[in-house]
Amino acid sequence: MNRIVPTLAVLLLAAGCSQGPGATPSPGAGGGLPAEVMQVAQERGLTPDDLVAAAKTFMPTGKLDPYFIFSSGGHSGQVHVIGVPSMRLLKTIAVFAPEPWQGYGYGGGPSRVLKEGNMPSGKELTWGDTHHPGLSETKGSYDGKFLFINDKANARLAVIDLRDFETKQIVKNPNAISDHGGSFVTPNTEYVIEGPQYATPVGWEYADIKDYKDKYRGLMTFWKFDPMKGRVIPEESFQMELPPYWQDLADAGKGPSDGLIFCNSFNSEMATGGIESGNPPFEAGASKNDTDFLHIIDWKKAAQVANSGKTETVNGMRIIKLPTAVAESLLFLTPEPKSPHGVDVTPNGEFAVVAGKLDPHVTIFSVDKIRKGMAAGSQQKDPFGIPILPLDSTMEAQVELGLGPLHTVFDDKGYAYTSMFLDSAVARWTLGGDYDKLNPEPGWTLVQKLPVHYNIGHIASIEGDTATPGNGFVVALNKWSTDRFANVGPLLPQNFQLLDSSKPGEGMKLLFDMPIGFAEPHYVQVMRADRLKPFEVYPQVGYNPETNQVDPKAVTDPKKAGIKRNGKTVEISMPLIRSHFTPEHVRVKQGDKIIWHLTSLERTRDATHGFALGGYNINLSLEPGEHQTVEFVADQPGIFPFYCTEFCSALHLEMVGYFFVEPDPVANK
């Protein structure tokens, strides 16, 4: 055991030096490490690799992570923000589900955002199945301004403002109930794309499954985004009908492929299931053909076609019908190997990499060849008349990686990283074409497979889906953790594994396991932290995060605090500051309509107050400067203390008031 000590010293010092100036641990006498390090390593049975991994990920107090992971929260409906390389959870952003800490869904402004996402019928939705976070981009690189995320279960899209990390808008897709290939953005966030998944009749009219081919359709939505307003503009958005092939993931082109969208599909068989009636189950029916179809969509031309009025409006949304898409040459198909899952455009925009779940290869398509095929057209058509560009005319290369390739990301050294679901591994391989010169290995070659634990789904690298990826880290998003963590019962966390990919010659190394105890994150994006400029406190007192302006009802002057009655409506103007609400006695009558304005006068960072009104399900978070308005009917008589939920000062417990609801003798008879 003692023989490893010199190796440990050398390795740990090397690791320390790579952390940058000021971070190098001071070596003990004679250039060795403090004896305590050796002792701890021996007691805990740590290997030199373990010590290096610890040195690369440990974040001393007060030091900040250089990267942020923005992670889908799966069917928790939320988004999680995690630091890299420390893998510390920094925040959960409430999106599609109520979240008490942020007062999301408990009466204040954010409740209205959540309600925007209800079904058109008014049916309330209080969860979502988030799959793909999409950071806003300028010229194909993250710009740190907005984050979008889709809800696969209900076909919705949410807009999060990265100045305050709050959800500002939820739009319900008016014509589809299922989505998947989104959200992702066009290179300058002109549109946020919400691609479909399970085909249904457009506008979810009723049509029997025997009419599948005629009535069921995929529907790709192009949500127009206004970066100044920070909102999606539904009236300027449009949709395009697609054949009912169950479109899967999609990606926007960039550089030479700018203007195109690539979208996989996995049920070109148009299987309709019905195992209970003796039909082949979906899993067999949808896997019969050797190839499915990669869809190529010319979104720039589609936007022109939509704006020239060649659309049909359904439920207020303009739709380019399938025959129009074909007639206007907006849509092309090319075969792709059996039941593909991910399609990912290389940073230079020259290739689209498709991974087939049931094919051991990744298939690389050439954008140049696709463009030539689109210009020349094709005599080969699918049953809907969509031209099919033959595979041998669009394919550039295939690389055999192993079992169950799903998703691919990239770095700045010409490497691609593909998740291997069935192999439980990350495959690193080289890109060809212009990338060939960037690394020592020849292009289109598998160079390493690193086991991960277990059943990896998505994969992420530093800005690895943009035009300007970084390098150094890869995150494996493993669906199963099985034996990696202490037993917490039969529902197990997932496992994010951080890999070191900084030294190609030495291969990738496993650094850290992070348990994810909150539903299955599908995709994450990793962004440089210095791209973000979030508020430290809201810029002005009375700021309403819903409107991004000072609210006209904000009570910025404590002298204006008070209660006004107008018939049966009672309006309360209540500023708050450590450690009191003003007023502290609020007297109303049963049945009164209450409009309660709350303004935090705080200007100190982290001086957050809460507002809890027990019995009325009202709970707000008021960050420094924030204003919120709550409206409700005082339908329950009694005495209700309202209090602050954040331990804001030594006299936090005294930050309280009474809400007196005088019983209505008539109503209570």
Residues in contact with ligand CUA by the rule CB under 6 A: 579, 609, 644, 646-648, 652, 655
When the beta carbons of 447 and 656 are compared against ligand CUA, the nearer one is 656
Amino acid (1-letter code) at residue 142: Y
Contact 362, 336 (CB under 8 A): no
Amino acid (1-letter code) at residue 363: T
Q: Three-class SS of residue 54?
A: helix
Task: Name which of ligand CUK, ligand CUA, none residue 484 binds, using a CB cut-off of 5 to 8 Å depending on partner kind.
Answer: none
Footprint on residues 41-60 left by ligand CUK (CB under 6 A): none
Count of CB atoms situated within 10 Å of the CB of 605: 11
When the beta carbons of 151 and 241 are compared against ligand CUK, the nearer one is 151
Among 254, 295, 341, 428, binds ligand CUK (CB under 6 A): 341
Contact 161, 146 (CB under 8 A): yes
Rounded to a whole number of angstroms, the minimum distance from the CB of residue 240 to ligand CUK is: 21
Rounded to a whole number of angstroms, the minimum distance from the CB of residue 648 to ligand CUA is: 3
Contact 450, 499 (CB under 8 A): yes
Task: Name which of ligand CUA, ligand CUK, none residue 627 binds, using a CB cut-off of 5 to 8 Å depending on partner kind.
Answer: none
Is residue 217 near ligand CUK by the rule CB under 6 A?
no
Contact mark string toward ligand CUK, 169..198, x via CB under 6 A: -----------x------------------
The strand pair at 67-72 and 395-400 is best described as unpaired
Rounded to a whole number of angstroms, the minimum distance from the CB of residue 653 to ligand CUA is: 8
Task: Name which of ligand CUK, ligand CUA, none residue 648 binds, using a CB cut-off of 5 to 8 Å depending on partner kind.
Answer: ligand CUA
Could you check whether the bond before residue 454 is cis, i.e. omega within 30 degrees of 0? Answer: yes
Task: Name which of ligand CUK, ligand CUA, none residue 217 binds, using a CB cut-off of 5 to 8 Å depending on partner kind.
Answer: none
Rounded to a whole number of angstroms, the minimum distance from the CB of residue 614 to ligand CUA is: 15
Task: Name which of ligand CUK, ligand CUA, none residue 458 binds, using a CB cut-off of 5 to 8 Å depending on partner kind.
Answer: ligand CUK
**C-alpha torsion angle, residues 242, 122, 182, 249 (rounded to 10):** -50
Q: How far apart are CA 138 and CA 657, in angstroms?
A: 48
When the beta carbons of 603 and 652 are compared against ligand CUA, the nearer one is 652
Is residue 295 near ligand CUK by the rule CB under 6 A?
no
Contact mark string toward ligand CUK, 246..275, x via CB under 6 A: ---x--------------------------
Contact 56, 86 (CB under 8 A): no
Helix (H) or strand (E) holding 426: strand 425-430
Rounded to a whole number of angstroms, the minimum distance from the CB of residue 522 to ligand CUK is: 3
- State both tokens at 148: 């979008």
Footprint on residues 514-533 left by ligand CUK (CB under 6 A): 522-523
When the beta carbons of 546 and 646 are compared against ligand CUA, the nearer one is 646
Task: Name which of ligand CUA, ligand CUK, none residue 646 binds, using a CB cut-off of 5 to 8 Å depending on partner kind.
Answer: ligand CUA
Tell me which residue of 61, 101, 57 sits closest to 83, measured CA to CA: 57
Tell me which residue of 351, 372, 378, 373 sits closest to 363, measured CA to CA: 351
Tell me which residue of 626, 657, 609 sits closest to 554, measured CA to CA: 626
Task: Name which of ligand CUA, ligand CUK, none residue 522 binds, using a CB cut-off of 5 to 8 Å depending on partner kind.
Answer: ligand CUK
Q: How far apart are CA 430 and CA 662, in angstroms?
A: 74
- State both tokens at 281: 């189950």
Task: Name which of ligand CUA, ligand CUK, none residue 249 binds, using a CB cut-off of 5 to 8 Å depending on partner kind.
Answer: ligand CUK
Select the residue whose beta carbon is closest to ligand CUK and give its number. 457
Among 87, 286, 306, 406, binds ligand CUK (CB under 6 A): 406
Task: Name which of ligand CUK, ligand CUA, none residue 320 binds, using a CB cut-off of 5 to 8 Å depending on partner kind.
Answer: none
Q: 309 Cβ partners below 8 Å, 6+ apart?
A: none
- E strand map for 466-534: 473-478, 494-500, 509-516, 524-528
Task: Name which of ligand CUK, ligand CUA, none residue 371 binds, using a CB cut-off of 5 to 8 Å depending on partner kind.
Answer: none
Task: Name which of ligand CUK, ligand CUA, none residue 341 binds, using a CB cut-off of 5 to 8 Å depending on partner kind.
Answer: ligand CUK
When the beta carbons of 322 and 655 are compared against ligand CUA, the nearer one is 655
Rounded to a whole number of angstroms, the minimum distance from the CB of residue 442 to ligand CUK is: 29
When the beta carbons of 647 and 658 are compared against ligand CUA, the nearer one is 647
- State both tokens at 64: 């900040």
Three-class secondary structure assignment of 378-407: CCCECCCCCEECCHHHHEEEEEECCCCEEE
Q: How far apart are CA 323 and CA 326, in angstroms?
A: 5
Rounded to a whole number of angstroms, the minimum distance from the CB of residue 477 to ligand CUK is: 7
- E strand map for 258-316: 260-265, 291-298, 312-314
At CB < 8 A and 24+ separation, what contacts does 318-324 make?
A: 318/237, 318/238, 318/239, 319/175, 319/202, 319/219, 319/238, 319/239, 319/240, 319/241, 320/238, 320/239, 320/240, 320/241, 321/241, 322/217, 322/241, 322/242, 322/243, 322/384, 322/386, 323/385
Rounded to a whole number of angstroms, the minimum distance from the CB of residue 364 to ligand CUK is: 19
Contact 100, 619 (CB under 8 A): yes
Three-class secondary structure assignment of 222-239: EEEEECCCCEEEEEEEEE
When the beta carbons of 635 and 654 are compared against ligand CUA, the nearer one is 654
Rounded to a whole number of angstroms, the minimum distance from the CB of residue 457 to ligand CUK is: 3
Is residue 458 near ligand CUK by the rule CB under 6 A?
yes
Rounded to a whole number of angstroms, the minimum distance from the CB of residue 149 to ligand CUK is: 11
Task: Name which of ligand CUA, ligand CUK, none residue 579 binds, using a CB cut-off of 5 to 8 Å depending on partner kind.
Answer: ligand CUA
Among 457, 464, 625, 657, binds ligand CUK (CB under 6 A): 457
When the beta carbons of 261 and 554 are compared against ligand CUA, the nearer one is 554
Q: How far apart are the first and last CA of the chain?
A: 83
Footprint on residues 581-620 left by ligand CUK (CB under 6 A): none
Is residue 131 near ligand CUK by the rule CB under 6 A?
yes
When the beta carbons of 232 and 249 are compared against ligand CUK, the nearer one is 249
For ligand CUK (CB under 6 A), the number of binding residues is 11
Rounded to a whole number of angstroms, the minimum distance from the CB of residue 402 to ligand CUK is: 17
Contact 465, 451 (CB under 8 A): no
Rounded to a whole number of angstroms, the minimum distance from the CB of residue 479 to ligand CUK is: 7
Write out the residues near ligand CUK by the rule CB under 6 A.
131-132, 180, 249, 341, 406-407, 457-458, 522-523
